[in-house]
Amino acid sequence: MRPGFETGHELPSAGSPGEPGAAVTPQNGEYTISVRSLWKVFGKNPERALEAQNLQKSKTKIQQELNLVVALKDVTFEATTGETFVVMGLSGSGKSTLVRCLIRLIEATSGDILVDGENIIDYDSNQLRNFRRSKVAMVFQNFGLLPHKNVLDNAAYGLEVRGVGKEQRYEVASEMLAKVGLTGWEGSYQRELSGGMQQRVGLARALALDPEILLMDEPFSGLDPLIRRQMRGELASLQEEIQKTIIFITHDLDEAVTVGDRIAIMKDGEIIQLGSPQDIIMNPVDDFVKEFTQGIPKTKVINVASIISEPELIIADWRRIEDLVAQMDRAGTEYAICVDTDNKYIGVIPKQKVTLLAGRPAGDLTDILHTDVATVHPETLLEQALAALVDATIPIPVVDGSNCFLGVAAQRDILMVIAANL
């Protein structure tokens, strides 16, 4: 689920002056949101912070000299369709200001916010209202439920505001409540729900609008730790199904690693590092990020792709068992990986089974072929692969989505990666 995405390429122009919301064709892949050189400065005449002589000054320096507070400083990123893009940082880093700028609850001082190629900074009040009602939905930390309405009416509320008829909005709301695991609770009220259940209602209400973009501002931070961990996993699973573009705000790195395809770490209003969870954990750009990521186990972010190796013996045709024993002896291996002529993985043949059948014809190899050996994918995290290795006597076969054989993941290699990053 964690696709790579190249950043740093030149972004296309937002259109000529006088052409509000001019459409833009993305140069590299399909994106939903493109934020370019976004600034938010609080204070009198905030544009002073963007003057040439002040651009390179620190947030503290600008506050001291100009009495201005820089909340966002030249923020640039893209979020692709179906991606969970996590923005994280400590309190005061600018992450919550950023998410509010994305929906223009806070007006940016400078910069562009392109959604599906249109610059929403140029929207008038009607365009902005339609944008908020149709393309984007927000899930807040404090749930935002209406206590006098039951669960079904809360989930259907956004559709009610949009003018959708009662029967239709109830049908959609019921479907979304089922997606978040609240079937049977439609008639309940907020006071009867746990914190986790209330947040599920908020999520169902957002999903009922069928937005392209979900903005989630620390949605789980008010929950108990156990419920919070459960909600992270549920969101990750739900995203596999709904494939929305999610901007997820958090101060918790463990949460970011669990739900995020990519992570942007903010400090003093700037993005100081942007990359996959594995990039962030394994290659921190400075001491701040390194300290920030110290508590995350490496097995939680490193995937199998980093330790794939070639097995000693791969069989792509069926030979007499005597020939196979000889091949295993020459290779010094206790097993052989079996594939077909298209390199599709079939199974594993242990040497100890081969020796028991010596002298029998090649067709009898199917009697000793182990087709139930667990396999993993390159993107499988080492944490998950370790569970498969506990009882394994041989390395785990690694296959792609088409079941093509790619290599093996050995216990020794996994342990070496863990030891090297302790």
pLDDT tens-digit map of 198-247 = 989 999 999 999 999 999 998 888 788 888 888 888 888 889 888 999 99
Q: How confident is the model at residue 413 (pLDDT cuts 50, 70, 90)?
A: confident
Q: What pLDDT is recorded for position 118? A: 94
Q: Is the pLDDT of residue 263 over 60?
A: yes
Q: What pLDDT is recorded for position 99? A: 94
pTM, two decimals, is 0.76
Q: Is the pLDDT of residue 91 over 80?
A: yes
Q: What pLDDT is recorded for position 421? A: 61
Nearest C-alpha neighbor of 146 from the set 203, 176, 190, 188: 190
- What amino acid occupies position 247? I
Nearest C-alpha neighbor of 147 from the set 209, 193, 102: 193
Say which residue the tokens 């944490």 belong to: 383
pLDDT tens-digit map of 309-330 = 999 999 886 556 677 888 888 8
Q: What pLDDT is recorded for position 364? A: 60
Domains of the chain as residue ranges with CATH: 31-135+211-296 (3.40.50.300), 304-420 (3.10.580.10)
Say which residue the tokens 């937005």 belong to: 211
Bigger pLDDT: 38 or 349?
38
Distance CA 186, CA 68 (A): 48
Nearest C-alpha neighbor of 386 from the set 414, 418, 421: 414
Q: How confident is the model at residue 363 (pLDDT cuts 50, 70, 90)?
A: low
Asked if 15 and 119 count as a contact pair (C-beta separation under 8 A), the reply is yes
- What amino acid occupies position 200? R
Chain-centroid distance of CA 283 in Å reads 18
Q: How confident is the model at residue 30 (pLDDT cuts 50, 70, 90)?
A: low
Q: Is the pLDDT of residue 10 over 90?
A: no
Q: Is the pLDDT of residue 18 over 90?
A: no
- Residues 6 or more apart whose Cβ sits within 8 Å of residue 36: 11, 14, 76, 111, 112, 113, 114
Taking all residues of the chain, what is their mean pLDDT, rounded to a whole number? 84
Q: Is the pLDDT of residue 21 over 60?
A: no
Asked if 84 and 219 count as a contact pair (C-beta separation under 8 A), the reply is no
Bigger pLDDT: 20 or 276?
276
Q: What pLDDT is recorded for position 220? A: 86
Distance CA 136, CA 244 (A): 10
Distance CA 185, CA 181 (A): 9
Which ranges in 163-286 belong to alpha helices (H)? 166-179, 195-208, 225-242, 253-259, 277-282
CA dihedral sign of residues 276, 281, 284, 290: positive
Q: What pLDDT is recorded for position 298? A: 76
Q: Is the pLDDT of residue 138 over 80?
A: yes
Task: Provide the 3-class DSSP secondary structure of residue 180.
Answer: coil
% of the chain with per-residue pLDDT over 70: 88
Bigger pLDDT: 291 or 10?
291
Lowest mean pLDDT, pick from 68-82, 119-133, 220-234, 242-256: 220-234
